[in-house]
Structure 1
Amino acid sequence: MVAKPERPYWSGRLALQMEEESAQSFSALFELEGSEDQGELILLSPLGNTLGKLKWSSEGATLQTGQQEQTSHSLDALLAQVTGEAIPIKAIFDWLRGIETNAAGWVADLSALSQGRITAQRSDPKPKAILRIAFTH
């Protein structure tokens, strides 16, 4: 019997703050498994209720919220539906692995990575945004 290689897995909290006149924010617990090519992201409320479940592969992406399910060729578009704003999911995988990757308009600070924290700021396009991730493997 051949053992399947273990898929990378992270869990923790993420918070997205938009710096605009009516400051908006999104925060959730998360479970992230896989890679930028194939994986699953589950977003949970602080009480543990599932806000959304995203699954993706080379064939496309699926978002499940409650009893509704949507499919798209764009993981980024579905993720923006859940969080209210586009976040650079492909770059996040690199950041979690300690790789400083550029994402359009985003700059990540990985200085606290060893403590399980990442902060990224988006300056363009407007409005400015701050993404904070606290995680464990």
Structure 2
Amino acid sequence: MTAKRATALVLASALLAACAVAPPVGDANDNPAWRVRSAQLAKIDRWQVQGRIGVVRGREAWSASLAWRQDGTQYAIDLLGPFGAGRVHVEGDANGVTLFTGDGQQLSAADADELIERATGVAVPVAALRDWVLGRPQAGVPARLQADVRGRLTRIEQAGWVVEYGAWQAQAPELPLKLRAEHGDVQVRLSIERWDT
């Protein structure tokens, strides 16, 4: 191979690699685009998503279809297929939460995190997911944030959890389509098929 040809191949490889690189990521606190985006996201308190959720803890795993409706502090979550059951419906507000199973059982608790842990044995941060699903940290809890040049969070480290975002919807306000949250041996994955805000 001639030196000229080898140089051309190296340059072509470098150009292809440059095209595959994700947008630069940095500390969100130093990112003016994140500050603007954060203010926009803070105004969203009514939304609905449809998609899938998967939870893994060690060798245990479950997944379900997900429909989540949030209206301020009130919410309703429908899960189809978790825990070997047909349907689970969760509804709650600032005063408490109740889980209804397809076979007529009912569980209540002070908050969704406690309820899901009692029902499944897995600590899933439902309260934090309410914010993480929008691409923002949970309010009032210290966090380390990384954002891309467009102000979209790429990583949240909060309350021992690491949240990473894998895809975003194209239309404004570019809400997340894929996120993964990990804490110890617990991993929660959300794949969102539809957003309504």
Same fold (TM over 0.5): yes
Q: What residue is the counterpart of 2:51 in the other structure?
A: 12
Distance in 2 of aligned mates of 1:12 and 1:83: 20
CA contact (8 A) 1:9 1:34 kept: yes
Distance in 2 of aligned mates of 1:63 and 1:36: 19
**Alpha-carbon shift at residue 133 of structure 1 (Å):** 0.6
1:132 and 2:189 are equivalent in the alignment:
yes
Whichever residue aligns with residue 88 of structure 1, its letter is P
Match of 2:77 among 22, 33, 41: 41
SS of residue in 1 equivalent to 2:123: coil
Q: Which structure's CA Rg is the greater one?
A: 2
1:122 and 2:183 are equivalent in the alignment:
yes
CA contact (8 A) 1:98 1:113 kept: no
- Using structure 2 for the length normalisation, give the TM-score: 0.56
Aligned pair count reads 123
- Using structure 1 for the length normalisation, give the TM-score: 0.77
Distance in 1 of aligned mates of 2:68 and 2:112: 14
SS of residue in 2 equivalent to 1:117: strand
Distance in 1 of aligned mates of 2:118 and 2:168: 27
Distance in 2 of aligned mates of 1:84 and 1:134: 22
**Alpha-carbon shift at residue 35 of structure 1 (Å):** 5.2
Distance in 1 of aligned mates of 2:46 and 2:135: 17
Consecutive unaligned residues in structure 1, runs of 5 or more = 1-5
Distance in 1 of aligned mates of 2:52 and 2:118: 18
Which string of whole-angstrom CA distances, capped at 9 and with x for unpartnered residues, describes residues 40-71 of structure 1?
1111018x931x11111122111111211122
Distance in 2 of aligned mates of 1:44 and 1:108: 24
Q: What residue is the counterpart of 2:63 in the other structure?
A: 27
CA contact (8 A) 1:54 1:79 kept: no
* Residue identity (%): 25
Query: Cα RMSD (Å) of the superposition?
Result: 2.4
Q: What residue is the counterpart of 2:167 in the other structure?
A: 112
Which string of whole-angstrom CA distances, capped at 9 and with x for unpartnered residues, describes residues 3-40 of structure 1?
xxx93101111111112xxx101111111111572201
Consecutive unaligned residues in structure 2, runs of 5 or more = 1-44, 144-157, 170-175
**Between Structure 1 and Structure 2, which shows a larger proportion of helix residues?**
2
CA contact (8 A) 1:30 1:41 kept: yes
